[in-house]
Amino acid sequence: MKKLIKTGILIGLVLFSLKNLNQDSFKSIKNCSYMIGSEKILVINKHNKIDKNFVPNNLIEPSIPFNDGVENEEKLVEKEVAVSLEKLFKDAENTGIFLLGNSGYRSFELQDKTYKNRILSEGKDMADKYVAKPGQSEHQTGLAMDVTNKANYFTEDTKEAIWISENAHKYGFIIRYQKGKEYITGCNYEPWHLRYVGKKIATNMHENNLVLEEYIENEN
């Protein structure tokens, strides 16, 4: 029994130090912007904030159906993202998967409002788990879109979430906050949060099971 406990403690220590190693390497990403070949990739996370005044250049509203109650600003994404999102939604629909846009671009001010509203409705612990603080959100880049389904219940085992996880990369999107990689991304698993990185990078990350921080580390 003692031996078992000792082994358990040892495994625990190894896992703990591995986790810290990864956290340290993740913190070495110090810029918001990385050049991978000719592609400029933005990395926003808790340690790597976006400027308060950053506003994307070409925000437009994609022709996709939206969930009820989505603010007009949140319907916007960067033009290139909008085109890919429309293709993804259409192809999904052709296979019987109906998606809805739930939240795209959020300005610093809207992110602030979203964060504070969540604290009021669900408390600070839940807000910190699921809503980024202003300046730490990818939604300010115009490169992200949260999606949902008609039931507004988008967990990992719904057919919509499964289709997204298997197909999003073909349209240049990644599931930004992956299960099991929370210690790297600093965010809980979010099967609904799509981030545009372009087909080539999305496919590479999908095939190698990488999150954005890991991909940037590997490529630099």
Q: Which residues pair with 40 in a beta bridge?
A: 35
Is 193 a binding residue for Zn ion by CB under 5 A? The answer is yes
Task: Candidates 53-61, 75-83, 114-122, 192-200: pick the segment binding Zn ion (CB under 5 A).
Answer: 192-200
Q: Are 168 and 141 in contact (CB under 8 A)?
A: no
Q: Does the annotation mark 213 as catalytic?
A: no
Q: And the tokens for 70?
A: 């989505």
* Residue closer to Zn ion, measured from CB, 146 or 160: 146
Q: Which of 73, 86, 156, 190 is catalytic?
A: 190
**132, 200 contact by CB (below 8 A):** no
Closest CB to Zn ion among 18 and 55? 55
Which listed range, 23-31, 84-92, 108-116, 138-146, lies at the site for Zn ion (CB under 5 A)?
Answer: 138-146
| Residue number with CB closer to Zn ion (193 or 206) | 193
> Rounded to the nearest 5 degrees, what angle is found at the Cα of 52, between the Cα atoms of 125 and 69?
60
Find the binder of Zn ion among 74, 78, 146, 214 (CB under 5 A).
146
Rounded-to-integer distance, Cα 110 and Cα 107, Å: 5
Q: How many residues bind Zn ion (CB under 5 A)?
A: 2
**How far is Cα 159 from Cα 40, in angstroms, rounded to an integer?**
33
For 143, phi and psi rounded to 5 degrees? -105, 5
Tell me which residues touch Zn ion (CB under 5 A): 146, 193
Instruction: Kindly list the catalytic residues.
Output: 190
